[in-house]
Structure 1
Amino acid sequence: MTGTQLAAWIKGHWKIENLLHHVRDRTFREDDSTIHVGHLPRTMASLRNLAIGVHRQDGHTDIAAALRRTARDYRRPLAALGLTG
């Protein structure tokens, strides 16, 4: 592996870390979760990833603001998923 390839790999890793894990840690406070049994931690992480993905697909970059906006009207995430008319 060349230095350029290693640098690209590290940059890619931190892009994922910043786009997904950081949001899960800060916005959803995932590290403070008390869910530790069986498949539940992975299930919750998947649901958080889905929420982040839906908001990003809908054009939002500030996920915390998007969650607050969504909390005011339950139809917004359904519309983003194409589940309402």
Structure 2
Amino acid sequence: MIKANRPLLHQRLKYLPWREVPLLGRTRATAHGRDEIRRIKTATVADLDFPHAAQAVQIVRRRRTVTTGKVSLERVYAVTDLTAEQADPAEIASRVRLHWGIENKIHYVRDVAYSEDTSQVRTGTAPRAMAALRNLAIGALRLTGRTNIAASLRHHARDTTRPLTTLGIT
């Protein structure tokens, strides 16, 4: 996914002639109190000035909150090194959804449970080491069948022997 932290590339993707690109895929899902429609367009690209870029992707998400009826529209852009022959729009859409699953399962949990985005650890290899330790803790909890990481962390924090027991050390 190309976000605003890559402004030049994001702008190039945004201003591709998307109106001329046919709609290649559409999915609809209702979950978590939202009705969501996702539309995908892909275009073969050659001069994005991004290494190995073969296709540009535009996904338009239209979400409607079931209870309030509030509608939001979001356009996201991505690039892939997969050619149109290697990955059709349905495959790309699937990979994007998988990416967001990882984002929600790991990065969101790290930020919410550990307040990672507000961490003051910023120099040397310490940020990478802390991220690895957080991933290790989350992975260990998931291996034991825990799905609510925040509740599991609170549970383990109340008794210093619990983390060792979880890891099979005692």
Q: Is TM (by shorter chain) over 0.5?
A: yes
TM-score, with structure 1 as normaliser: 0.94
Q: 2:117 aligns with which of 26, 31, 45?
A: 31
Show CA shifts across 1:20-48 (max 9, x none): 00000111000000111000000000000
Aligned length: 84
Q: Give secondary structure in 1 for the equivalent of 2:99.
A: helix
RMSD between aligned residues = 0.7
Q: Which runs of 5+ in 2 are unaligned?
A: 1-86
In proportion to residue count, which structure has more strand? Answer: 2
1:9 to 95, 115, 118: 95
Alpha-carbon distance in structure 1 between the residues aligned to 2:168 and 2:151: 21
- Deviating beyond 4 angstroms after TM superposition, the runs of 4 or more aligned structure 1 residues are none
1:43 aligns with 2:129: yes
**How much does 1:59 deviate?**
1.1
Which has the bigger relative contact order, CA under 8 A and spacing at least 6?
1
Q: In structure 2, how many angstroms separate the alpha carbons of the residues matched to 1:81 and 1:26?
A: 23
The one-letter code of the counterpart of 1:45 is: A
TM-score, structure 2 normalization: 0.48
Question: Which residue number corresponds to residue 22 of structure 1?
Answer: 108
Structure whose alpha-carbon radius of gyration is higher: 2
Q: State the AA in 1 paired with 2:103.
A: E
| Structure 1, unaligned runs of 5 or more | none
Matching residue's letter, 1:26: V
Higher helix share: 1
